[in-house]
Amino acid sequence: MDSKTLEDFKQKLLKEKEHIEENLAKTETDKKGVDREYETKFTEIERDPEENADEMEMYESNLAVDETMKAELEKIDAALSRMKSGTYGICSNCQKEIPLERLRAYPQADTCLDCQK
Ligand SMILES: [Zn+2]
């Protein structure tokens, strides 16, 4: 891979990383809001269990999104460190070059499509 293409992918990855970090920061703030709401709810004498269940569900799906974003962030960091060590774009499983069109669609890919299956 030539250095210009590599630089392009690097910029893409850094942008994506920034984007995810922003989103993560946002859900952190949301979670704090939900926690506070729970505290006030629990001090009330009459609670609606149905409503609490709904909120719990929302809270849990937020956590799942969080996990996905964190996993994605790890992949991006791994891709950036592969760039430093000069192994970016090489399949971690079969050691062949990952096709450029796959990297364009998913720059943090560390395996080729054959190994992905
Ligand atoms: Zn492979």
What is the overall mean pLDDT for the chain?
Answer: 88
Smallest CA-to-CA distance from 13 within 102, 99, 109, 92 is with 109
| CA of 81 relative to ligand 1 center, distance in Å | 19
Rounded Cα–Cα distance for residues 40 and 51 (Å) = 14
Q: Structural domain tally of the chain?
A: 1
Interval 43-57 mean pLDDT: 71
| CA of 45 relative to ligand 1 center, distance in Å | 60
What pLDDT is stored for residue 31 in this prediction? 72
31 found inside a domain: yes
| CA of 65 relative to ligand 1 center, distance in Å | 28
**Which domain covers residue 38, as residue numbers?**
3-89
109 found inside a domain: no
CB 34 within 8 A of CB 59: yes
32 found inside a domain: yes
Interval 3-18 mean pLDDT: 97
| CA of 110 relative to ligand 1 center, distance in Å | 9
103 found inside a domain: no
| CA of 95 relative to ligand 1 center, distance in Å | 6
